[in-house]
Amino acid sequence: MSAYVIYPWLCRSSASRNERTIELPGDGIVQNSISGYTLAKTIKASSSKIWPWLAQVGQGRGGFYTREWVENIMGADIRNADSIIPKFQSIAEGDSIRLTPDPYFDLPGQYLVAAQIDSPYVMVFRQILPNGSTGTWTFILKPSTRLIFRRRSSNPSFFDEISIPGYYFMDMGMLSGIKKRYAFRH
């Protein structure tokens, strides 16, 4: 069965209809989004307990808490933290975090720029994709805590289009990784 056949079902499997359709912070950054999805995971902790894990995301920082072996096969040099790292707890609008080393396969490395930070509830990153289009990564922490992640893109490249099932696999791994790390520490 093609990943594209099961992909819509997989995306619906983690986020409620309301979570998938409500407007979230950062949605206005990508005008005419044609690609993306919303995922969610319940973590029994307050937003302030989960926020430190989000604050330290990035290559050369706390990693992305996902399938490290996959990222490293792709040359991303990711090391996922299993604890809160105090020196990576400060993040402000305009700060950049790397997705890959720089250079990356003889090209400029990929990075995200913090577009909106409202600790401990909202973290929105803006990305300029290699083809020049805009993408976003949005993390929302709701009371109880519900971690919502939305990925959007205005004009994904061919590589991004064929990589969507892989992105989904990695992004669900990231949400599960955050939950697992928090639960292990508490």
- Band (pLDDT 50/70/90 cuts) for residue 34 is confident
The region that residue 94 occupies, defined by phi over 0 for left and psi between -120 and 50 for alpha, beta otherwise, is left
Can you name the CATH fold of 3-26+36-152+177-185? Alpha-D-Glucose-1,6-Bisphosphate; Chain A, domain 4 (3.30.530)
Q: pLDDT by residue (tens digit) across 5-31? A: 555 666 677 899 999 999 999 999 998
Predicted TM-score (pTM) of this structure: 0.92
Structure tokens of 85? 């790292």
Report the candidate in 126, 117, 67, 68 with the shortest Cα–Cα distance to residue 89: 117
Q: pLDDT by residue (tens digit) across 38-81? A: 999 999 999 999 999 999 999 999 999 999 999 999 999 999 99
| Torsions phi, psi for 184 (to 5 deg) | -65, -35
| 105/13 Cα distance (integer angstroms) | 35
- Stretch 132-151: mean pLDDT, rounded? 93
Task: Tell me the domain boundaries of the chain.
Answer: 3-26+36-152+177-185
Report the candidate in 13, 10, 22 with the shortest Cα–Cα distance to residue 138: 22
Query: What is residue 5's predicted lDDT score, i.e. its pLDDT?
Result: 52
